Structure 1
Amino acid sequence: MVLSFAHTSENLEVYQYALFIGVGGLWYLLLSTLWFQLNPKAQTEQTLNETFLLTADFLDTRRQLIGDQPDRESLQTQLMTLQSALTEHHETLREILILSRKSSGKSNYQSRRLLVFIQLVELLETAIANPVNYDKMDVLFSKYPELKTDFQKLILELSYQLRSITKNINKSKLFPSNRMLSDALKTLENDILKLKNENQTEDYERYLMLQNLLDYQKKQFEKLKKIKWLLGNPELSSDDIIKNEKLKRFIGSQDYDPKLILRNLSFRSTIFKHSLRLAVAVMLGYGIGLFFDFQNPYWIILTVIVIMRPSYGLTKTRSKDRMIGTLIGAALASGLVFLINDPYVYGALGVLSLVIAFSMVQKNYKASATFITLSVIFIYAIIQPDILKVIQFRVIDTLIGATLSYMVMRWLWPAWSFMEIGDNIRDSLKANTAFFKSINTFYQKKGLVPTSLKVNRKEAFLQTSNLSSAFQRMAQEPESKQNHIDDIYELVVINHSFLSSLASLSSYIQNHTTTEASEDFIAVSEKINNNLDKVCTLLKDINFEDSRINGSIYKPEPFDFPFDRIANDTISQTDSERTHKEAHLVWEQLYWLFSLSEKMLKLTSKFKVD
């Protein structure tokens, strides 16, 4: 579309011109298909490598959270950002690996990579399932600092090994040895065992807590060993290969219902408002270019289309990066054209700059804009003798396009995040509630782990990630548009904590033989479900656009949580350490879930409702 503004054809009819543009699109499709046939593993390998690195970063951040920290809040924010990025990569890998199996059938390569991906998902869940009660852990580690060192050393080694695998993903012989992890686990196990020998009840409870944490780390080690085994290209048996009927439940089908278009033709739709803003900005930009008789007014349009996004924060960042990158590129090009006067060198530099620009567009937009500017200037230098004039107009057009994008995004039909954040909180809470109900049902009925539990787990992680992304967008917006940001941040953190506790409970009951669910367990679970349902009902009516709150004080219904009684009764009634560990973990997590549901109810009760 932009090139149509740049070049008015005098010798071709409109349909002929459109046909040539269509042929260009088909040529690119053919080239992409050919490249995929030549290197079909490239996308899978790149996304898998990035997922390994993000998982390693996530584990390392968890390591830093262990023990008393002066800036724990910023680490937790960093953790939420990493979790969002990981969930996005998991979605991409899920689509690549599952859809490729559906279209081209099973292959050993795809099956092995799919099993590696499953281990990475479970690594994330197990990492999130670390103890969430940092106050307790701080007290414990201040008394036993060697335990803190042991855990940090172990998690650091896990993180290091994941990064090492990324560097040598197709060279299993170069993978680091398991010896370091085995030694770290042994040291940790011996130090924890010392607590068991203490006579005080409090020390025994700490011992149980640390044993459960140690069990999680052992599971991480087992998953890492399985990843190494799978990347060693073993022959898989029929039991290892996952059936397509189960896999298709993990990917959503695209809805192509024409009613979607009608539903989005409304000012309630973020995309509709973005489309209007984009259309207005493009026409204004082209009008400015014609009015002032700029050399290439279509550059303004191109800048607007490339920069503008539905999100205010992203548009603002891209506008700034585009302007800075263009100025740097123009300065570099100005210096080079004085030193070089060879069209062949210009051509080579133009192609090289374009390749670098596209390779960096997702990682560093500022640097990408610099090389795009260099590429455009060098290519124009071949056909335009007055190169300095080209540089001048390139800078002016980019500055106008970037400024116009920002102004239109800021003042024309703005779509501030607080208008939709309530929906994101509700979706995350609904997904967490469904996950909790699946865990509750499985704990009561036992048997094989149902696929529905895993699907609900995936949805809970995805919706919590979406909520984090929505809050990050809100935090980038003007302060005047950040309605109730402190309360919303608290709801976001509570949802993350809730998911962490669910992950802890889910991981334990899937990997251990558990006792029969008691009546107390069922009663507490029902209470938590009731709280969550009440919060969902309140969230439907809360209008975050209203800056007022009703100021009423929430009065919780009386409920006697039997945590201490049940934990102590279990320990006194049986000598089985396995049962003690189960009682301690399950009831500690239930107590934590109950507390979080009460916090959410208290927080949402104070808002004005429509």
Structure 2
Amino acid sequence: MNYSAELKKFVTSQYLYSAIRITLATVLPCLVLAHFGILKEYFLFPLGTSFVALTDQPGPFIRRRNALAFAICCFVFVALIASLVMNFKILVLLEIIIFGMFFSLIGVYGQRLAAVGSLSLVVLAIFIDGHLTGANIFKSLLIFTCGCIWFLLIFLVVTTIRPYKLAGQMIGENYLQLAEFLKIKANYYQKNPDFDKLTTQVIAKQIEIKNLQEDTRETVFKTRTIVNESTTTSRLLMLMFLNSMDLHEKLMTSESDYQKLQQSFEDSMILVNIHDYLNLLAEEITNIGIALQSGTRAKPMFNLELELKNLNYNYFELRNKQLSPDSLENFMVLRQILMRINEITKEINEIYKVFSQDVKLAKSLSTGLDLRKFMPNEPKLNSKVLRNNISLSSSHFRHAIRITTALLLGYLFSMFDFLGLGHTYWILITITAILKPAYSITKQRNLLRLYGTVTGATIAYIILHFIHINSVLFAILLISMIMCFSFLKGRYFWAVLFMTIYIFLSFNFLNPGKVNIIFKDRVLDTAIAGIIAFAVSYIVLPVWEHTQNLDLMKKSAADNLIYFQSVMSKFLQGNFDLEDYKVKRKNAIISLANLSDNFQRMISDPKNQQKKLEVVHQFVATSHLITAYTASLSQYSKSNEQYPEIDAESWSRKIEAEMQQTSTLLNGDDITEALRMESRLEPEDSSIEDMLLKRKTEIEENEIVDRRDPDKISHLTELKNIHDILELIYDVAKEQRKVIEKYRSEKHSTPPQS
């Protein structure tokens, strides 16, 4: 592992940048208040600041600003109502029901409002018993409101000064994820790879890339300054993001029959050479990502021209020694892989060229695309969406009932005094943090929350026991806050650990000498909340992942078919609409990632709810291969070369018929005889076999010609590769259809169709 690069990735990331901003916005007022000796009295000010800060999700400026303003209104309203009714237990219970349902349901409008809803419930927990407001409720609420508004002002100032910072960091993170993706793909070429493990890693990384691309797409395409401004920065960022998506496709095109490849070249070092070169490319992509995150210009780290020349030299040396009629097809596959590597190298060099554009050339940086077609769909902010989700068939409504039930149980439990808990609102806060719409996420968060709390509490206890210098404790508190907010999105265990440390230190500054009480309350409240959250998620209207499998499989199958048809249009009509193709490519990748993500969560469901797990796993694997092979085929659609030897019409009809059979079965219909006949067509590609036989005869009868042009590939090699890719797509589509046939036969107890 390159520890230097890993450190740079973290230091320049949006997560650390955001964490430092939140920490400074929260701590600076604390220092001022502490200086005047009124921190205890005005503690609600930094508390309001931190709550509003946590609702700030990455995205376009206008959406972020509006969400922060809405969060402030929600927080102040919830705090006001909670403060007014805190002495009337019946009204408190009614308050929990109304706020629990409403603030859980607003998650139907996306992650941004879901975050506002969750933090609103945390505000409810903080103010529910009045322990922070004191006698003067309205003064306390005014202080809290000022703290909330303080972060909004900080946000407006920072985004005005550095409007492109977030977009650059998010695009940079896209490149960092692509680098990790390439490293996984490189491992297919090492000695004795674990194919099953690597396939799982590839699918998991695809999910991460898809989620990040969606977030980045919203930030880039929906931010007017990025899309419309004729500045060098805005145009560069737009092109860098679009180039990252094209690079993603090129990385997907490296899909091959790796097991056969390993068998064919196990006695040579060529695959290891490819592995090493791909890792160099990954380092270059990482370098680009770090530069984008930090806002600097990237320069190449290695002499890729020399490294690629050496790789091609090793290939041609091996080819000249071992090429024979029997090994010809193996070398054709290897030659094609090297051509794809050449394309990836050119793409990286092109990205460096775009990155180093001079200000004077900014106007030449045009996308030529209708960017509106690439914008992600998001629910409209109207009451109809909310009303439509007030039904037990809605997963959001069921989640709202679970949250409300758990909060009621947590509050009722906190009313019992036999445990002597002093911070019972932590139970409600922990329930809100743990309980998520998916059982698998709730289960995972439950364990991570408990482990992180216990570990963090132990570390904090040790720190407070041995360190009594306030300046050192304050430094640790600052570092803990920054680490907590940095890890909050991706590494929940570490986020909870550091959160627990800074909470202990904060309480120690406010009320020194009570570490034993805080330790007991924190651990016990977390355990109680974890038990309640787990029980409710399992018992109260759970939504199991297997209930979504069928719809996601239908969507993935349909989008893969449309993606394939888009690629085949060049072979059939001779035209290729690049913009239309990119939209359909995006849809296919998103559908595949959604299906894969659902399968990953399903694995964490209880065993009795992992229905048809093997079927879904096979469907995910075959869908991934179809998407990857279609991406490989698309490289030929974009070229100006013609391939009349390929019987494109028969191949298109044959593969589409096979894919349509899968969609038909998924929709619960019977396959027609016409579809079956179409899928059995025999494409007339016999000329390719004749050309291949002729080439083998030439090799057998003549000496091998030492041609060493790495940028040129024979027409026969291209034809053979296109033919092989079409065969692979058909074979995988057929295998996928059989998987669904088996699924239906088991479901209906009828023999599978032939």
Q: Which residue of 2 aligns with 1:186?
A: 312
Structure 1 residues 561 and 114: CA distance shift in structure 2, 3 A: same
Query: How is 1:406-417 mapped onto 2 (pairs within 5 angstroms)?
Result: 406-417=534-545
Q: Which moved more, 1:113-122 or 1:562-571?
A: 562-571
Letter in 1 for 2:403: L
- For the pair 1:395 / 2:516, whether they are aligned, the reply is no
- Tell me, yes or no, if the aligned pair for 1:281 and 1:304 is still in contact at 8 Å: yes
Q: Which residue of 1 aligns with 2:559?
A: 431
Separation of aligned partners in 2, 1:278 and 1:157: 48
Q: Which residue of 1 aligns with 2:349?
A: 225
Letter in 2 for 1:176: F
Separation of aligned partners in 2, 1:263 and 1:154: 53
Deviation (angstroms), 1:53: 2.4
3-state SS, counterpart of residue 172 of structure 1 = coil
Letter in 1 for 2:426: W
- Tell me, yes or no, if the aligned pair for 1:343 and 1:381 is still in contact at 8 Å: no
Alignment partner of 1:480 out of 599, 605, 608:
608
Deviation (angstroms), 1:336: 3.0
Separation of aligned partners in 1, 2:331 and 2:473: 70
- Tell me, yes or no, if the aligned pair for 1:324 and 1:366 is still in contact at 8 Å: yes
Letter in 1 for 2:273: D
Deviation (angstroms), 1:37: 2.2
- Tell me, yes or no, if the aligned pair for 2:650 and 2:683 is still in contact at 8 Å: no
Deviation (angstroms), 1:119: 2.4
3-state SS, counterpart of residue 515 of structure 1 = coil
Separation of aligned partners in 1, 2:533 and 2:586: 36
Separation of aligned partners in 2, 1:347 and 1:135: 56
Letter in 2 for 1:58: F
Structure 1 residues 188 and 264: CA distance shift in structure 2, 3 A: farther
Separation of aligned partners in 1, 2:403 and 2:482: 28
- Tell me, yes or no, if the aligned pair for 1:154 and 1:184 is still in contact at 8 Å: no
Q: Which residue of 2 aligns with 1:548?
A: none
Alignment partner of 1:7 out of 112, 116, 130:
130
- For the pair 1:311 / 2:434, whether they are aligned, the reply is no
Q: Which residue of 1 aligns with 2:620?
A: 492
Q: Which residue of 2 aligns with 1:275?
A: 400
Letter in 2 for 1:260: V
Separation of aligned partners in 2, 1:176 and 1:96: 32
Separation of aligned partners in 2, 1:20 and 1:376: 20
3-state SS, counterpart of residue 145 of structure 1 = coil
Q: Which residue of 1 aligns with 2:547?
A: 419
Structure 1 residues 66 and 556: CA distance shift in structure 2, 3 A: farther
Separation of aligned partners in 1, 2:395 and 2:497: 31
3-state SS, counterpart of residue 254 of structure 1 = coil
Q: Which residue of 2 aligns with 1:96?
A: 219
Q: Which moved more, 1:228-237 or 1:447-456?
A: 228-237
Separation of aligned partners in 2, 1:237 and 1:328: 52
Separation of aligned partners in 2, 1:67 and 1:390: 52
Alignment partner of 1:120 out of 244, 264, 278:
244
Separation of aligned partners in 2, 1:351 and 1:238: 44
Q: Which residue of 1 aligns with 2:688?
A: 567
Q: Which residue of 2 aligns with 1:260?
A: 385
1:138-187 Cα offsets, whole Å, 9 max, x none, are 33223x62332332232122122223444555243463333443323432
- Tell me, yes or no, if the aligned pair for 1:424 and 1:467 is still in contact at 8 Å: yes
Q: Which residue of 1 aligns with 2:207?
A: 84
| TM-score, scaled to structure 1 | 0.89
Deviation (angstroms), 1:50: 2.5
- Tell me, yes or no, if the aligned pair for 1:438 and 1:456 is still in contact at 8 Å: yes
1:429-472 Cα offsets, whole Å, 9 max, x none, are 11111101111123222345431111001111111111111111
Structure 1 residues 566 and 401: CA distance shift in structure 2, 3 A: farther
1:474-494 Cα offsets, whole Å, 9 max, x none, are 112222211111111011000
Q: Which runs of 5+ in 2 are unaligned?
A: 1-123, 670-674, 699-711, 749-754
Alignment partner of 1:247 out of 344, 368, 371:
371
1:373-414 Cα offsets, whole Å, 9 max, x none, are 122222222333533212211221111112211221122211
Structure 1 residues 449 and 141: CA distance shift in structure 2, 3 A: farther
- For the pair 1:163 / 2:286, whether they are aligned, the reply is yes
Q: Which residue of 2 aligns with 1:547?
A: none
Letter in 2 for 1:34: V
Letter in 1 for 2:312: K
Structure 1 residues 272 and 199: CA distance shift in structure 2, 3 A: same
Q: Which residue of 2 aligns with 1:545?
A: none
Separation of aligned partners in 2, 1:342 and 1:205: 72
Query: How is 1:246-395 mapped onto 2 (pairs within 5 angstroms)?
Result: 246-256=370-380, 257-292=382-417, 294-341=421-468, 349-385=476-512, 386-395=514-523
Letter in 2 for 1:204: L
Structure 1 residues 131 and 141: CA distance shift in structure 2, 3 A: farther
- Tell me, yes or no, if the aligned pair for 2:427 and 2:525 is still in contact at 8 Å: yes
Separation of aligned partners in 2, 1:508 and 1:140: 25
Deviation (angstroms), 1:499: 0.5
Separation of aligned partners in 1, 2:290 and 2:737: 47
- Tell me, yes or no, if the aligned pair for 1:61 and 1:79 is still in contact at 8 Å: yes
Q: Which residue of 2 aligns with 1:584?
A: 720
Q: Which residue of 2 aligns with 1:66?
A: 189
Separation of aligned partners in 1, 2:524 and 2:255: 55
Q: Which residue of 2 aligns with 1:511?
A: 639
Separation of aligned partners in 1, 2:301 and 2:156: 33
- Tell me, yes or no, if the aligned pair for 2:287 and 2:298 is still in contact at 8 Å: no
- Tell me, yes or no, if the aligned pair for 1:356 and 1:371 is still in contact at 8 Å: yes
Separation of aligned partners in 2, 1:87 and 1:333: 38
- For the pair 1:596 / 2:736, whether they are aligned, the reply is no
- For the pair 1:531 / 2:658, whether they are aligned, the reply is yes
Letter in 1 for 2:535: M
Structure 1 residues 248 and 314: CA distance shift in structure 2, 3 A: same
- Tell me, yes or no, if the aligned pair for 1:192 and 1:207 is still in contact at 8 Å: no
- Tell me, yes or no, if the aligned pair for 2:299 and 2:352 is still in contact at 8 Å: no
Separation of aligned partners in 2, 1:199 and 1:333: 69
Count of residue pairs the alignment pairs up = 592
Letter in 2 for 1:568: E
Letter in 2 for 1:28: F
Separation of aligned partners in 1, 2:190 and 2:174: 27
Deviation (angstroms), 1:355: 2.6
Q: Which moved more, 1:559-568 or 1:114-123?
A: 559-568
3-state SS, counterpart of residue 254 of structure 2 = coil
Alignment partner of 1:111 out of 215, 218, 235:
235
Separation of aligned partners in 1, 2:405 and 2:720: 61
Structure 1 residues 333 and 68: CA distance shift in structure 2, 3 A: closer
3-state SS, counterpart of residue 179 of structure 2 = helix
Separation of aligned partners in 2, 1:69 and 1:563: 38
3-state SS, counterpart of residue 415 of structure 1 = coil
Q: Which moved more, 1:404-413 or 1:68-77?
A: 68-77
Deviation (angstroms), 1:29: 2.3
Structure 1 residues 399 and 48: CA distance shift in structure 2, 3 A: same
Deviation (angstroms), 1:79: 0.9
RMSD over equivalenced CA pairs, Å: 3.0
Letter in 2 for 1:175: M
Deviation (angstroms), 1:278: 0.9
Letter in 1 for 2:564: F
- For the pair 1:464 / 2:592, whether they are aligned, the reply is yes
1:91-119 Cα offsets, whole Å, 9 max, x none, are 22222222234676232112112222222
Structure 1 residues 173 and 147: CA distance shift in structure 2, 3 A: closer
Deviation (angstroms), 1:133: 2.2
1:211-233 Cα offsets, whole Å, 9 max, x none, are 22222111101011011122224
Letter in 2 for 1:441: S
Alignment partner of 2:358 out of 226, 234, 238:
234
